[in-house]
């Protein structure tokens, strides 16, 4: 793959336009630097994508459902999936991918059930919320 090698724009490179072009170079050089950093695997979900990761800690009991949280964006989510599940009680990671039953209601994500987890155990679960 080709390596991106940006060059800074300088006044010395444009001697005939020095009176006005200097104001353009600061923002232009910043943008070029941001693009290069993004292409060097520095994109993050939190800062760059229309998605979010939400972490919830709860005890898996019927009485604790529904779980509710307000999403980061003011839009209806298109999908939600578990990406990390840790059983705090037994200090083990889940090897199965539970199904999360959810809905979007009143500007909140409402989780009515998470299948495949042991009852009465404390869990930390991370959810990837995808918007469209």
CB atoms within 10 A of CB 27: 9
Structure tokens at 25: 């170079």
pTM of the shown model: 0.72
Please indicate, yes or no, whether residues 32 and 59 belong to a single structural domain of this protein.
no
- Specify the residue for token string 């229309």: 50
Does the residue 30 lie in any domain?
yes
At 53-107, the pLDDT tens digits run 999 999 999 999 999 999 999 889 999 999 999 999 999 998 888 999 999 998 9
Please indicate, yes or no, whether residues 34 and 89 belong to a single structural domain of this protein.
no
What's the pLDDT score for residue 132? 86
Residue 29: strand, helix, or coil: helix
Number of domains in the chain: 2
Does the residue 22 lie in any domain?
yes
**Pick the residue with more confidence: 66 or 18?**
66
Please indicate, yes or no, whether residues 65 and 127 belong to a single structural domain of this protein.
yes
Distance (Å, rounded) from C-alpha 92 to C-alpha 79? 26
97, HSE (Cβ side, Cα atoms, 13 Å): 5
Please indicate, yes or no, whether residues 90 and 33 belong to a single structural domain of this protein.
no
Distance (Å, rounded) from C-alpha 34 to C-alpha 4? 12
Are the C-beta atoms of 68 and 109 separated by less than 8 Å? yes
Q: What residues does 73 pair with on adjacent strands? A: none
CATH code at 120? 2.60.40
Does the residue 86 lie in any domain?
yes
Full domain range(s) for residue 34: 7-43
Please indicate, yes or no, whether residues 101 and 69 belong to a single structural domain of this protein.
yes
The answer to whether the peptide bond before residue 83 is cis (omega within 30 degrees of 0) is no
Please indicate, yes or no, whether residues 26 and 62 belong to a single structural domain of this protein.
no
Please indicate, yes or no, whether residues 58 and 81 belong to a single structural domain of this protein.
yes
Average pLDDT of 4-27?
A: 87
Does the residue 2 lie in any domain?
no
Please indicate, yes or no, whether residues 39 and 90 belong to a single structural domain of this protein.
no
- Specify the residue for token string 């459902």: 65
């Amino acid at each position: 793959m080709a390596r991106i090698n940006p060059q800074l724009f300088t006044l010395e490179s444009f001697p005939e336009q020095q009176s006005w072009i200097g104001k353009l170079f600061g923002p232009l050089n910043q943008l070029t630097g941001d693009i290069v950093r993004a292409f060097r695997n520095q994109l993050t979900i939190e800062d760059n994508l229309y998605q979010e990761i939400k972490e919830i800690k709860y005890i898996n009991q019927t009485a604790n459902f529904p779980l509710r949280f307000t999403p980061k964006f003011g839009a209806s989510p298109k999908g939600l999936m578990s990406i990390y599940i840790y059983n705090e009680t037994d200090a083990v990671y889940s090897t199965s991918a539970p199904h999360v039953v959810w809905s979007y209601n009143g500007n909140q994500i409402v989780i009515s059930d998470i299948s495949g987890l042991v009852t009465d155990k404390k869990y930390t679960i991370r959810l990837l919320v995808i918007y469209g």
